[in-house]
Amino acid sequence: MVESTRRRTCYLLLLAFLMAWELLHSLGVITSTRGSHPTAILLAFLDLDFLHRLLGMFLQVVVAVLLGGIAGTTIAVLIQNTTWLMPPARRFARIILWFPFFVIAALPQWWIQAISVILLIGIAAISAFSFYELLVVRTVLHFHWSEALSATGRKILLQSLLFSLYSQIHQRFGWMVLSVQRPELAYTALFLTCALLLLVDRAFESRFAKTAELDCKALVEELFSYKIGSLIGAFLLGLVCIGLWQFSSKYTAHYLLVDSPIVVFRTAYNMFIGFGVTTGQQWQIGDLLTSLLEMFGGLIIGGALALIVRKGMNKSRAFREWMYRLLPMTYITPLILTVAVNNWLSGFTAPWRTVLTVALLGFYPFLKVLWGLRDTSFLFSFLLAVEQALPFAFIGMLFGELWGATRGLGFFTVVMRAEVRINEAIAVSLFTFRLFVMLSVSLRFVSKKLR
């Protein structure tokens, strides 16, 4: 009976939403170039070019999950029992799994226009993610392999979808290119993505409360399992990666337009202290301040919204049940909402557009930690919630600054790439990634001391 009532309420709310949409369109509040008409979404399903590009994105997701998942699982199996290598490798993987999101915007244009290159980067990203998640559930939660694969399968699939959506803006053959001035395409992609998220949750029998509890248990136990030796080991693994980059650059710099780390670090030094090139776009401290303002502003708004929702979930069981159903659709969809909002607000370049992207993208991880750790001290759970939302804040900032921005770290990176100043672009990407690492490590350190 209760289930039937909820389903009926959903249908009525959907009908009311469509009627309001039709009314606003007939009054001229929503136009075809900004909000589109409800029937335009149905017509979008007849756009073969759009459907082909959207299908290509979903195929990238599947291939990255299969190949990246196999690679990450294989590596995890090989080192899980090596007590000297496993802790630093897990700690290193926790950070490096986000690196592809930072570096993709700095790569030469001809790199990222090739679908094969985007696919390889996605496979590498999912390999690192699946490796880390499997090690956590195996060595921290002590799951058997069958349980571990079941627990991480949904996360791996959603991470692949997140990266594929994020990379669409950099692909000439991605569907986001078509969505400029055609908001109905963004709405159609949003509808299909929401349906996919609900389907994934049903397939894995996932529920927000259980996911939040399990993830927060792993988060806390992992936080207190680290020792100083794993930090040193993770640092050494980072040096090994830089050494491999230095070695391979001797043979690839001429063809790939990416110089050795020594050259990139020297370029970064000259650029940040003001002795870089004197033509074209120049680095300014305002770029850093703008990005920090966007991220912290978004985290404040997203955190405040998460606190309000958590309070409502604590007080009302009916509201809690509703949120359990709606929350899975808030995890990735803000990236698509950004595309739709940019059609609504074309011509505006204020930072608050990026702030909105950061707030919406960081809302889900923020609420997940606040709900999973609701029985612990507020300050401890809040700091860990900020730390878990931090990578999404950076992703939202980098993504948002590609739409109508005039300054910021993401904007500056893309301008450097457009001017074929690849060393400067990579230098800014590495600087942004280092900023993320420093903030993440600091938040974890303070949280651990508070506990």
Side chain identity at residue 75, one-letter code: I
Residues 228 and 264 in one domain: yes
Residues 337 and 284 in one domain: yes
For the chain, percent of residues with pLDDT exceeding 70: 84
For residues 106 and 422, is the Cβ–Cβ distance under 8 A? yes
Residues 22 and 83 in one domain: no
- Reported confidence tier of residue 8, pLDDT bands at 50, 70, 90: low
pLDDT, greater one: 257 or 325: 325
Q: How confident is the model over 368-398, as pLDDT tens digits?
A: 999 999 989 999 999 999 999 999 999 999 9
Query: What pLDDT was estimated at residue 134?
Result: 94
Q: How confident is the model over 44-54, as pLDDT tens digits?
A: 788 888 888 88
Greatest mean pLDDT among 106-110, 116-120, 280-284, 371-375 lies in 371-375
The pLDDT of 133-141, averaged and rounded, is: 92
Domains identified in the chain, total number: 2
Residues 262 and 294 in one domain: yes
Residues 21 and 65 in one domain: no
CA distance 423 to 429: 10
Query: What pLDDT was estimated at residue 110?
Result: 66
Q: How confident is the model over 423-438, as pLDDT tens digits?
A: 888 999 999 999 999 9
Helix (H) or strand (E) holding 21: helix 2-26
Closest CA to 440 of 385, 399, 390: 390
Asked whether the CA dihedral 337, 338, 341, 346 is positive or negative, the reply is negative
Residues 277 and 175 in one domain: yes
For the chain, percent of residues with pLDDT exceeding 90: 41
3-state secondary structure 25-89: HHCCCCCCCCCCCHHHHHHHCCCHHHHHHHHHHHHHHHHHHHHHHHHHHHHHHHHCCCCCCHHHH
pLDDT, greater one: 338 or 330: 330
Query: What pLDDT was estimated at residue 343?
Result: 64
Query: What pLDDT was estimated at residue 36?
Result: 65
- Reported confidence tier of residue 281, pLDDT bands at 50, 70, 90: low
Q: How many helices (H) and strands (E) does the chain have?
A: 19, 0
Residues 12 and 158 in one domain: no
- Reported confidence tier of residue 27, pLDDT bands at 50, 70, 90: low
Residues 8 and 124 in one domain: no
Residue 17 has pLDDT above 80, yes or no: no
Residue 180 burial class via C-beta count within 10 angstroms: exposed 0-12, middle 13-18, buried 19 and up: middle
Q: What is the mean pLDDT of the chain?
A: 85
Q: For residue 16, give its domain range.
A: 1-30
Residues 68 and 16 in one domain: no
Say which range, 24-28, 148-152, 205-209, 442-446, has the weakest mean pLDDT: 24-28
Residues 245 and 185 in one domain: yes
Residues 248 and 386 in one domain: yes
Query: What pLDDT was estimated at residue 243?
Result: 93
Whole-prediction pTM value?
Answer: 0.90
Residue 266 has pLDDT above 70, yes or no: yes
Query: What pLDDT was estimated at residue 111?
Result: 63
- Reported confidence tier of residue 275, pLDDT bands at 50, 70, 90: low
Query: What pLDDT was estimated at residue 237?
Result: 93
Please enumerate in sequence order all residues whose Cβ is within 8 A of that of 19, keeping only pairs 6 or more positions apart, or say none. none
Residue 15 has pLDDT above 60, yes or no: yes
Q: How confident is the model over 180-213, as pLDDT tens digits?
A: 767 778 888 888 888 899 899 888 888 898 999 9
Residue 348 has pLDDT above 80, yes or no: no
Instruction: Tell me how crowded residue 205 is: count the other CB atoms within 10 A of its CB.
Output: 9
Show contacts of 378-385: CB within 8 Å, 24+ apart. Answer: 379/450, 380/447, 380/450, 380/451, 382/303, 383/443, 383/446, 383/447, 383/450, 384/216, 384/219, 384/220, 384/223, 384/443, 384/444, 384/447, 385/303, 385/306
Residues 122 and 204 in one domain: yes
CA distance 113 to 109: 6
pLDDT, greater one: 337 or 64: 64
| Structure-block tokens of residue 49 | 């070019």
pLDDT, greater one: 365 or 271: 365
Residue 259 has pLDDT above 90, yes or no: no
Query: What pLDDT was estimated at residue 115?
Result: 67
Helix (H) or strand (E) holding 167: helix 145-168
- Block residue for tokens 């899980």: 80
The pLDDT of 330-337, averaged and rounded, is: 88
Q: How confident is the model over 243-258, as pLDDT tens digits?
A: 999 998 887 777 667 8
